[in-house]
Amino acid sequence: MWCRETLTAKFLAFWLALGAWSGTAHAQGAAGVATALLFDETTKEMRGPAGATNFTFTFAFTNAAPGPVVIESVRTSCGCTVAKVPNLPWSIAPGAGGEFSVVLDARGKRGTVTKSVFVNSSIGVKPLTVRAVIEDATGNVAISGGMDDRLRNMQIALADRSAVFRGDCASCHAKPSEGKHGPALYVAACGICHDSHNRASMVPDLKNLGKATDREHWVRWITFGRHGSLMPAFAQSEGGPLTDEQIDSLADYLNRAISQRPMAQGARVPVRPVALPPLPGAGASLR
């Protein structure tokens, strides 16, 4: 009798654990996206007059996952945009919800300004978008001389890929990666560009490259970047912010999450392949 009850209890525990695992996998969705965090809108747009200083967007959401979800951070794609959230980590019970605001500083900006917001949670990342449409004195959308801030920044990055690690850009592209490894480092250093709905056409979606990759591929790209593109070299020896240990952890994560995932049949590579520099010799340091 005791053995039968023990086996029954173990069998029940197994199925409960399997159900919890399945619920988490469903809540996370494909490629680490937090699909179970249901937002009132994933893109919010506001229109304002010339001279407007701030645009405030409020996002409301519900946790549709079978278990609690912990929001670990809410990051933005630019230092001019700030997320105002409760104390972190922020635990949301199943069926419960909450809201937070995102403030875009519009001083000195004209035309349409679009920024990305990334909600990093225990079940993945939820990308959001805020857009401010700034009118001119006549009530029309202001034109910034044919070149908006985003295009100007892209041209600067093309001329000097390491520019994103200096000045104001460092607050988004360098500082958040300090002390992070693996998945957390991906969110801080890679997701801000590659997972954005508003990424430039030359910035590929890493989860849908459509070509075979391996760990060596990721080490090369992270270390050296790509000349003639917006991809900077992240290794400290190349002027970037990442240590050898961080690069190794990031390459390991990308190899597990992307390289070992079945590739969609008929997928195409969105960028032209280029020759990459060889890896340093055995025992050589990237610093």
Task: Look up the pTM and report it.
Answer: 0.58
Position with higher pLDDT, 268 vs 5: 5
Residues 91-130: b if buried by 16+ CB within 10 A, e if exposed: ebeeeeeeebebbbbbeebbbbbbbbbbbbbbbbbbbbbb
* 51-90 tens-digit pLDDT: 889 999 999 999 999 999 999 989 887 778 999 999 999 9
pLDDT for the residue 283? 40
Can you tell me the distance from the alpha carbon of 142 to that of 134, in angstroms, rounded to the nearest whole number? 6
At the top level of CATH, the class of 29-146 is mainly beta
Among candidates 122, 116, 121, which has minimal Cα distance to 173?
A: 116
Using alpha carbons only, what angle is made at residue 255 by residues 33 and 25, rounded to the nearest 5 degrees?
A: 30
Confidence of residue 143 (pLDDT cuts 50, 70, 90): low
Residues 6+ apart with CB under 8 A from 261: none
* 114-130 tens-digit pLDDT: 888 989 899 988 989 99
Give the architecture-level CATH label for domain 163-270. Answer: Orthogonal Bundle (1.10)
Domain ranges of the chain: 29-146, 163-270
Task: Name 130's bridge partners.
Answer: 44, 115
End-to-end alpha-carbon separation of the chain, Å?
A: 64
Query: Helix and strand tally (H, E) in the chain?
Result: 7, 9
Per the CB < 8 A criterion, the answer to whether 152 and 98 are in contact is no
Can you tell me the distance from the alpha carbon of 25 to that of 35, in angstroms, rounded to the nearest whole number? 10
